[in-house]
Amino acid sequence: MSKKNKLHHFAENETFGNMFQLSYEQLIEGFKYRGKWNNGFFGNNNDLTVELGCGKGEYTVGLAHRFPDTNFVGVDIKGARIWRGLKNTDESSLKNVAFIRSRINLIEFMFGQNEVSNIWITFPDPHPTPIKEKRRLTSPQFINRYYKVLKPDGIIHLKTDNIIFFEYTLDVITEHGHELIYSTYDVYGEENDEVLTQIQTFYEKKWLENGTKIKYLKFKLKKLIIECPIKNLSQ
């Protein structure tokens, strides 16, 4: 994409009422819809699903079409990519979709405690080198952030072409005691669920054309046990 087109998209992004371009400082100071997405922005009490690294918004918009009684927020740092999702949302008159342009590692400043029902991670950068493990979206460091926004029974979904990243995530789930609900090494060979097979991202289409099998899993976070201090009954 040319620099001219990017600048045009950035400018047009500002005109959409469901787009929030948030800096680190703005989030730290307090985002007005954090903890108030449903009542404050969407005007309902529906479940909230968040897609991290949403790119052009194919999954965010695709899910919103299929589940009109659920609210969706796509998060990505690339505003030029989000523009496509915004255009599709506007052209389809979808009222249950919003987008945030910001860094994913600030997720706990975008959403409140127990506010999110589902997190979708679709074809993220696998950060294959060990030195970048902490940047993987299913690393223990990121999962600790998800604890701050997911409901106790919230579900994390991962869809990826990268087998090393997929198996890394399986290892994280096992080693940290999270609950694996389902996993497959071949979505299109084993699944009939249209959510998994009929919604395709830009990168997913590329990998499928190359004959790469698409992997998918979903899991719940291990319940945290909060120890309460024992009162001294003799006092």
Residue 53: give its domain's CATH number.
3.40.50.150
pLDDT at 11: 62
Say whether pTM exceeds 0.85: yes
Residue 108 buriedness (CB in 10 A; 0-12 / 13-18 / 19+) = middle
pLDDT at 233: 45
pLDDT at 230: 52
On whether residue 57 sits in a domain, the answer given is yes
User: Bigger pLDDT: 192 or 124?
Assistant: 124
On whether residue 204 sits in a domain, the answer given is yes
Distance separating alpha carbons of residues 45 and 42, to the nearest angstrom: 8
Q: Per residue in 61-88, pLDDT tens?
A: 999 999 999 999 999 998 888 988 899 9
Average pLDDT, the chain: 90
Number of structural domains (the chain) is: 1
Determine how many CB atoms are found less than 10 A away from the CB of residue 73.
25
pLDDT at 70: 98
Q: Per residue in 213-224, pLDDT tens?
A: 999 999 999 987
Q: 70: domain range?
A: 3-220
- State the catalytic residue, choosing from 76, 125, 171, 186: 125
Active site residue 125: yes
